[in-house]
């Protein structure tokens, strides 16, 4: 009888074991609540939508090996994503979108040819100032692409005042999202999800629920991604020994650069694995290495004049409006020497405004290769001082740093170009004190501008300091210019120079330099020898 009872109970016990195992597995997978907070919204989820989202969450957990691989990438990249979103003023909840888009695979390519961490198509990438060509593809750069995504999302949220609508517009485009949502949800803070709600947002919530709060899965594995800002031109091969890693290592984590080349058009961020725990505030990872800078504190805070003007954005289209920023001000580059009237008409701005924001006299010519502003310049620069070089004018210095000409003159109590002397240290932030003499330094002094908005003694350590910039040292000191003894000067093009800057230095025109050197256009390269005839 006991044996018969045992046989009858076998199905019951098997069923009980199955239920227990199912319950355990169910308990390990996060469950979709009926209400969830997202950004500044409260999302109320109807039962049918809740079941849809739960199916996606379950699918993310189904393959434990794949889930752990993805979790490892999240552990490495998400602190950087959080940092960039925070600096852009975008809610940190949007970080889960990059997991949904690419699973944090740098060179992921979709069926519609969207590329990179945030899955940008080429045209959209250029709209948010990412460089995409055969040398660099910033869609594969975690820092640059996150900046671009933050700009895109923030711009769209300005249309809806609703982060859910802005997020869906990431998939549909702004026009598609406006047609889909209309204005019904604009400004709403409580959103109800049901079976008819957009699938893209429901899938996003699945990723948020799956990866949010899973700290046990995202513990440090003894390494984290460190950032290094690099001003080229240089290569990953040249940087690798200084970081104590191999070139192959840098190529693995920096697929944005073709063949390891880092061009000199702007500052790029290189990432590499570093041993140790993620800092206490992982969203603020700063690089503390010293790459051959001088030990003295002033030298550590200086940058060469080649850093200015600072040009960001789509520099392949720098001659078109709304493509670049010059010193963080909307600007454009002139392609040819022309009149103010013709140039203003070409870039779609009123001539009087163009003349005013660039501090131009009425009859001054537009010079080829020079950057001009389309929005007003600032009352102070991002750096403390500038050391005057031979041939420079007050106007040229004001354009170099994006500071109003009147402010530059007032800060230094200098009104005329003839009062400038080579080696003068001009103030770009603070006003010179009354009766204070303007300091003059020998021109052999390396720095042209001092990278500090306040004197060092007054600076307060901040948790989110900007990354130091690694600038490769030249193989040998460049020969800038030398007299040939025949009425001409041989000038060697340095980093950051263009024809306009060189023409200002020697008091000649761009067209004259092109004529003397048989240049077909305004393109010059570092190290190129130019002949300058003495005026």
Helix (H) or strand (E) holding 390: none
Name every residue whose Cβ is closer than 8 Å to that of residue 274 and which is 6 or more positions away in sequence: 223, 224, 225, 226
Reported as a pLDDT band with limits 50, 70 and 90, residue 459 is very low
pLDDT given at position 493: 77
pLDDT given at position 472: 57
The mean pLDDT value for 190-218 works out to 84
Whether the bond into 309 is cis, omega within 30 of 0: yes
Of 210, 92, 199, the C-alpha closest to 146 is 92
- pLDDT tens per residue across span 287-309: 333 333 333 333 323 334 446 78
pLDDT given at position 96: 95
In angstroms, rounded to a whole number, what is the distance separating the alpha carbons of residues 116 and 249? 19
pLDDT given at position 447: 41
- Radius of gyration in angstroms for the set of CA atoms belonging to the chain, rounded to a whole number: 29
- pLDDT tens per residue across span 315-349: 777 888 888 889 889 999 887 788 899 999 988 89
418 CB-side CA count, 13 A: 0
pLDDT given at position 222: 64
Residues in a beta bridge with 526: none
Domains of the chain: 35-211 (1.10.530.10), 223-291 (3.10.350), 306-456 (3.10.350.10), 481-533 (3.10.350.10)
pLDDT given at position 469: 60
The answer on pLDDT for 37 being more than 90 is yes
> Pick the residue with more confidence: 505 or 1?
505
The mean pLDDT value for 486-490 works out to 71
Q: What is the mean pLDDT of the chain?
A: 79
Reported as a pLDDT band with limits 50, 70 and 90, residue 278 is low
pLDDT given at position 458: 34
pLDDT given at position 500: 72
Tokens representing residue 367 in the block: 């010079």
The answer on pLDDT for 466 being more than 50 is no
Q: How many CB atoms lie within 10 A of CB 314?
A: 18
The mean pLDDT value for 488-500 works out to 73
- pLDDT tens per residue across span 418-438: 888 888 899 998 888 877 888
In angstroms, rounded to a whole number, what is the distance separating the alpha carbons of residues 333 and 194? 51
Percentage of the residues of the chain whose pLDDT score is greater than 90? 41
Of 199, 202, 268, 266, the C-alpha closest to 236 is 268
The mean pLDDT value for 129-149 works out to 94
């Amino acid at each position: 009888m006991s044996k018969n009872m045992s046989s009858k109970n076998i199905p019951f016990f098997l069923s009980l074991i199955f239920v227990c195992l199912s319950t355990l597995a169910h308990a390990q997978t996060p469950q979709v609540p009926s209400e969830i907070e997202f950004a500044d919204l409260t999302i109320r989820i109807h039962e049918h939508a809740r079941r849809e989202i739960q199916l996606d969450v379950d699918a993310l957990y189904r393959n434990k090996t794949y889930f752990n691989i993805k979790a490892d990438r999240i552990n490495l990249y998400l602190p950087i994503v959080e940092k960039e979103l925070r600096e852009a003023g975008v809610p940190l909840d949007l970080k889960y979108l990059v997991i949904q888009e690419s699973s944090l695979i740098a060179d992921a390519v979709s069926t519609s040819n969207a590329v990179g961490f945030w899955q940008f198509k080429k045209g959209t990438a250029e709209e948010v100032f990412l460089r995409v060509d055969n040398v660099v593809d910033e869609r594969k750069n975690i820092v640059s692409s996150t900046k671009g995504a933050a700009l895109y999302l923030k711009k769209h949220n300005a249309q809806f005042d609703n982060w859910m609508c802005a997020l869906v517009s990431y998939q549909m485009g702004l026009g598609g999202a406006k047609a889909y949502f209309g204005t019904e949800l604009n400004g709403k803070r409580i959103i109800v999800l049901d079976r008819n709600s957009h699938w893209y947002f429901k899938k996003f919530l699945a990723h948020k629920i799956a990866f949010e709060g899973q700290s046990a899965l995202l513990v440090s594995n003894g390494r984290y991604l460190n950032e290094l800002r690099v001003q080229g031109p240089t290569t990953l091969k040249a940087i690798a020994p200084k970081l104590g890693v191999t070139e192959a290592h840098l190529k693995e984590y920096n697929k944005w650069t073709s063949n390891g080349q880092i061009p000199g058009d702007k500052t790029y961020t290189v990432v590499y694995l570093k041993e140790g725990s993620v800092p206490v505030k992982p969203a603020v990872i700063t690089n503390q290495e010293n790459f051959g800078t001088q030990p003295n504190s002033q030298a550590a805070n200086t940058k060469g004049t080649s850093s200015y003007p600072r040009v960001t954005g789509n520099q392949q289209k720098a001659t078109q409006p709304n493509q670049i920023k010059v010193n963080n001000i909307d600007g454009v580059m002139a392609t040819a020497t022309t009149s103010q009237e013709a140039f203003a008409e070409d870039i779609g701005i009123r001539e009087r405004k163009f003349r005013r924001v660039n501090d131009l006299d009425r009859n001054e010519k537009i010079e080829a290769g020079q950057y001009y502003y389309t929005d007003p310049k600032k009352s102070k620069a991002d750096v403390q001082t500038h050391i005057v070089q031979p041939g420079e004018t007050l106007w040229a210095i004001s354009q170099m740093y994006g500071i109003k000409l009147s402010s530059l003159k007032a800060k230094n109590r200098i009104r005329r170009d003839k009062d400038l002397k080579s080696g003068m240290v001009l103030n770009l932030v603070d006003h010179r004190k009354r009766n204070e003499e303007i300091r003059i330094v020998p021109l052999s002094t390396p720095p042209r501008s001092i990278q500090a908005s306040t004197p060092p003694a007054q600076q307060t350590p901040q948790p989110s300091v900007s990354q130091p910039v690694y600038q490769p040292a030249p193989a040998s000191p460049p020969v800038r210019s030398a007299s040939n003894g025949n009425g001409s000067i041989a000038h060697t093009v340095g980093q950051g120079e263009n024809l306009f800057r060189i023409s200002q230095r020697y008091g000649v025109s761009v067209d004259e330099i092109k004529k003397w050197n048989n240049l077909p256009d305004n393109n010059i390269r570092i190290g190129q020898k130019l002949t300058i005839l003495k005026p």
